[in-house]
């Protein structure tokens, strides 16, 4: 489990570094106003374009965990330590 945790932490750092670099190089008054509005919007209310940006990072997590996007998380994944709360394994 430590290996998964460290891999996900590295991915999170990569995401943070990507965003921070983008923000630093694109910090304008217009962008700051837009970003301040965006942080208040729940994911479900984002535009499809904004969701696609978040989905790119979600896909990286899926890839890291060794899943395919079309793969349903099932009890087989519970045995891999990936819980879906879909069964009685209680993982």
Band of residue 69 on the pLDDT scale cut at 50, 70, 90: low
Residue 51 near residue 43, CB atoms below 8 Å: yes
Mean pLDDT of 7-19: 93
pTM: predicted TM-score of the whole model, two decimal places? 0.62
CA dihedral 54, 57, 58, 59 (to 10 degrees): 120
Mean pLDDT of 17-44: 94
Give the C-alpha distances (Å, rounded to integers) separating 40 from 6, 61, 89.
Answer: 29, 24, 37
pLDDT at 81: 55
The phi-psi region of residue 74 (left if phi > 0; otherwise alpha if psi is between -120 and 50; otherwise beta) is beta
């Amino acid at each position: 489990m430590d290996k998964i945790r460290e891999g996900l932490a590295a991915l999170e750092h990569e995401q943070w570094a990507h965003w921070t670099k983008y923000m630093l190089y694109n910090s304008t008054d217009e962008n700051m106003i837009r970003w301040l509005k965006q942080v208040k919007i729940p994911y479900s209310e984002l535009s499809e374009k904004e969701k696609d940006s978040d989905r790119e990072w979600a896909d990286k997590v899926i890839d890291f965990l060794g899943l395919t996007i079309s793969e349903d998380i099932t009890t087989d994944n519970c045995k891999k330590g990936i819980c879906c709360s879909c069964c009685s394994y209680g993982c």
